[in-house]
Amino acid sequence: MTDLASAHVLVLGATGGLGAPIARRLVAAGARVSLSARDGSKLAALADELGDSVVTTVAVDLTLPPGPGQAVETAHGAAPLTGVVNAAGVVAFGPAAELDDDTLDELLLLDLVAPVRLVRAAAAVLPEGGFIAQVSAVVAEKAMPGMAAYSAAKAGLTAFDAAAATELRRRKVRVLDVRPPHTETGLATRPVAGEAPRLPRGLAPDAVAARIVAAIADDERDLPAEAFSDRPEGS
């Protein structure tokens, strides 16, 4: 078991539809948290809500090369870190043959390159018993037409996590790859390009967050899509 009551966890994408309930669930389990995203005012509002459980906030753009390292260094400098949860990400829709360069760059930088840099930065500071939970997606297991680049970025992340998990196991640092199905966070309504297809009702964000935090606490090593309840929000 990972004792969350004595943990300090950095949450990236903390103001997002998944990041915020993950941060709330971690705090409910007794953890202290540091919160990161780009928008400082949203970070301040969440920090106000979570009160004394917040160690620090870090406004960084994770697509920039120093971003992941800055988030880790600032949080770890404020109090030694036990773990990191990466719930920052973007999606894009549209035919693969029409993908433009800016969209491709943003998707790959945030959804694949930043998590790789994050593992590098976190591995340098996490203690034995520490953890890195990365939110990949169900499309890493089953690529979706109309989401080719997003599927590729997430499949790449999941592959990276599998290899890094084996390497870091020797140092007793756990890498947990998390692949949720579609979840009602509103992500699909703010793509960096294209328009979402008609999607079935997704999972409830708080239920997905609860499952992720339970997996962290229970020392689970992989969280595939099938590990999430298939009960849509509101049913």
Ligand X SMILES: NC(=O)c1ccc[n+]([C@@H]2O[C@H](COP(=O)([O-])OP(=O)(O)OC[C@H]3O[C@@H](n4cnc5c(N)ncnc54)[C@H](OP(=O)(O)O)[C@@H]3O)[C@@H](O)[C@H]2O)c1
Within positions 121 to 150, which residues make up the interface with ligand X, using CB under 6 A? Answer: 135, 137
Rounded to whole angstroms, how far apart are CA atoms 27 and 35?
Answer: 12
* Residue 184: both structure tokens together: 């009602």
State yes or no: residue 88 binds ligand X (CB under 6 A).
yes
Query: CB of 26 within 8 A of CB of 50?
Result: no
183 contacts: CB under 8 Å, gap ≥ 6: 17, 18, 202, 203, 204, 205, 208
Rounded to whole angstroms, how far apart are CA atoms 159 and 2?
Answer: 24
Find the binder of ligand X among 3, 5, 6, 39 (CB under 6 A): 39
Find the binder of ligand X among 187, 193, 204, 216 (CB under 6 A): 187
Residue among 200, 193, 199, 179 at smallest CA distance from 96? 193
Q: Please report how close the Cβ of residue 5 comes to ligand X at its closest, in angstroms.
A: 25
Rounded to whole angstroms, how far apart are CA atoms 216 and 231?
Answer: 22
State yes or no: residue 35 binds ligand X (CB under 6 A).
no
Nearer to ligand X, 2 or 158 (CB): 158
* Residue 179: both structure tokens together: 């692949």
State yes or no: residue 18 binds ligand X (CB under 6 A).
yes
Q: Please report how close the Cβ of residue 87 comes to ligand X at its closest, in angstroms.
A: 5
Query: Which among 49-57, 89-97, 121-129, 160-168 is the span making contact with ligand X, rule CB under 6 A?
Result: 89-97
Size of the site for ligand X (CB under 6 A): 30
State yes or no: residue 233 binds ligand X (CB under 6 A).
no
- The helix-helix angle for 67-78 and 114-123 (nearest 10°) equals 30
First to last CA, the chain: 32
Rounded to whole angstroms, how far apart are CA atoms 69 and 118?
Answer: 6
Q: Please report how close the Cβ of residue 6 comes to ligand X at its closest, in angstroms.
A: 26
State yes or no: residue 159 binds ligand X (CB under 6 A).
no
Query: Which among 14-22, 23-31, 46-54, 77-85 is the span making contact with ligand X, rule CB under 6 A?
Result: 14-22
State yes or no: residue 185 binds ligand X (CB under 6 A).
yes
Binding site residues, ligand X, CB under 6 A: 13-19, 37-39, 42, 61-63, 87-91, 110, 135, 137, 180, 182-183, 185-187, 190, 202
